[in-house]
Structures are given as C-alpha cells and as structure tokens.
Amino acid sequence: MISEQQLISRIKGLNQIKPRKDWVFLTKTRILGEASSEKGISIWEVLPRILFHPKLAIASALTIFTILGLVGFTRNSLPGDPLYAIKRVGEKTQAVFISEEKQPGAQLELANKRLNELTKIAESNQIKKLASALQEYQASIGQAAKNLTQQKSATTSDPSVIKNIAQQTQKLEDAKDRLERIYGIAGLEAKEGENPTKIITDWLIKDLEKRTLTEDQADLLSEAKESFSIEDYNTALIKILQLSELNYPQN
C-alpha cells in the first residue's frame, strides 16, 4: 500500500510535467477564449467547459475520478496536515454533483466536518493546528450561511430539505457548545457579518411562513418565532425540527 510520504512525493512530481505549447494554446483558445475578457473567473466556472469538451472528455473524467479516489485516502487529514489541501479539493469536486436544492444541507454538513476536525485537534491537544482548524471552520460556516441567504425559498422542494438544514445547524450548535464548555475554545463564529445560526434560523422561519402547515405545525412555528425574538436560536431550531417531523398537509 502506498504511504502518505510516497503520495506527497508523486504529487510534487506532477509540477515537473510541462504540457506541449500547442496544447496550451489550443486549450486556451477553444475553452477559455470567449471568457478571457471576463473578470474573476474561477475553476468552477471553467470546469463545465472542460468536462463537456469532446477532445478533453476522457482526460477530464480521469482527473475527476483520480481526485475522488484520493478523498478516501485523505479522509482523516486535519488542517495543517500535508494532504489536507487535496481533501478540500476532493470535497469541492464532489459538490459539483449535488443538486441545487440540497446544496444548503451539504454545505452545512461540510461545516460540521470542519467542526469535527477542530474537536479532534482539541482532544489530541495539537495546539499548532488549532488556529488553522478554527479558520477553516469560520470560513465554512460563513460561506454556508451566505449561500443559503442567496438561494431562493425552498417552499416548492421536499420538506426533508428543511429538516436536514435544521438538523445540521443544531448539530453545529451542540458541537460548538461542547468545544466552548470543555476546551474553552472561543471565536466559533464566522469572521464577518451576523451570527450564522441566526441567519440560518431566520431563513428557515421565513420559508416555513410560506408553507401550508397543520395546526400543530403552525403552533410550533409560532413558538420558534418567539424563541428567535429573544435570541434563543437553539430552542427555535428545536421547534423547527419538531415541526419538520410532523406530516405536512396534502395540497
């Protein structure tokens, strides 16, 4: 079985591989040419063009499968480890295949993974990795909250989407409480903007207000809104979870 050090060595060796000049020119002209004048183009904007380009389809597929194959190998990597960057690339590659309505829940699952990594580092007393792990978590939860607020209401989607978002957010709150209480780790919020839990809970409440609810669900929503008004976001999430576990009326 290939060791971690051998894998790192091989990956570094890829930097020595130089593509033919004519291939570089062809790729830039055919794939990126029409977008070369755009500002702020990211790999995620270019990726679909590469994937569906006929001459690059096989190479693109092999690249994707290679990245996804490495995810398992790097699953236990933590912030500060040599293979952690590969783990993050694999996660972004997997995200491409997640449907739009399930993206918010998936992003919150990633935030939970970042918090689990921070917990492992705290439990093993790896002090040097704490700052990096905290930064990864802050960026992850901040992005999850931002993307959720930019997404359209989930009113027409499966109600289980709401349940998953509420579950993932409450898991985050429980894990944060444990880290703060047991290990004294503070600063478990996004670097900028409002409290992510507040943003997510507010989004859930507004979405549920647009849905057809049973009398019991309406009562739970009212209780969630009351808890939200006094900034008790954890209780509000619990009420929303209870609401989501009840059957929605048939339209």
Q: What is the pLDDT of residues 6-18, one digit of tens each?
A: 555 655 554 554 5
Q: Verify that 238 and 214 share a domain, yes or no.
A: yes
* pLDDT, tens digit, 9 for 90 and up, residues 137-164: 888 988 888 888 877 655 556 778 888 9
Residue 28 placed within a domain: no
The answer to the question of residue 13 being in a domain is no
Asked whether residue 91 falls in the same domain as residue 167, the answer is no
> In angstroms, rounded to a whole number, what is the distance separating the alpha carbons of residues 241 and 161?
11
Same domain, 61 and 139: no
Domain shared by 60 and 148, yes or no: no
Q: Are 185 and 237 part of one and the same domain?
A: yes
Same domain flag for 49 and 60: yes
| pLDDT of residue 68 exceeding 60 | no
Please indicate, yes or no, if residue 9 is contained in any of the structural domains: no
Q: How confident is the model at residue 4 (pLDDT cuts 50, 70, 90)?
A: low
The overall pTM is greater than 0.85? no
251 or 178: which leads in pLDDT: 178
Where does a domain end: 51, 79, 97? 97
Average pLDDT score, the chain? 76
Per-residue pLDDT at 100: 79
Tell me the pLDDT tens digit for each residue of 70-106: 556 677 889 988 888 888 888 888 888 888 778 888 8
| Residue 180 or 11, more confident | 180
- Give the range of the structural domain holding residue 233, as residue numbers without chain letter: 99-251
- Domain final residue pick, 79, 97, 115: 97
As given in the structure block, the two tokens for residue 141 are: 């939860």
235 with 155, same domain: the answer is: yes
* Residue pair 122/185 in contact by the 8 Å Cβ criterion: yes
3-state SS class at 167: helix
Flag whether 17 is in a domain. Answer: no
Q: Which of 97, 113, 137 is the last residue of a domain?
A: 97
CB 70 within 8 Å of CB 86: yes
Q: 179 and 63 in one domain?
A: no
| Same domain membership, residue 183 and residue 213 | yes
pLDDT of residue 240: 95
* 243 falls within a domain: yes
Give the count of domains, the chain. 2
Residues in the chain, overall count: 251
Task: State residue 24's pLDDT score.
Answer: 43
Q: Are residues 73 and 170 in the same domain?
A: no
Same domain, yes or no: 84 and 186 = no
Per the domain annotation, does 76 fall within a domain?
yes
Which residue is associated with the tokens 């109600």?
Answer: 159
Segment 108-112 shows an average pLDDT of: 92
Residue 35 lies in a domain: no
C-alpha to C-alpha distance for 178 and 163, rounded to whole angstroms: 23
Residues 6+ apart with CB under 8 A from 13: none
Query: What percent of the chain has a predicted confidence (pLDDT) above 70?
Result: 65
102-128 as b/e: b if 16+ CB within 10 A: bbbbbbbbbbbbbbebbbebbeeebee
Q: Does residue 67 sit in the same domain as residue 180? A: no
The predicted pLDDT at position 44 comes to 47
**What's the pLDDT tens digit per position in 17-56?**
454 544 444 444 444 444 444 445 554 455 555 445 554 4
Query: Please, which pLDDT band fits residue 209 given cuts at 50, 70 and 90?
Result: very high
CA 113, 176, 145, 131 dihedral sign is negative
Other C-beta atoms closer than 10 Å to the C-beta of 238 total: 18
Q: Which residues contact 77 (CB under 8 A, 6 or more apart)?
A: 83, 84, 86, 87
Tell me if 157 is assigned to some domain: yes
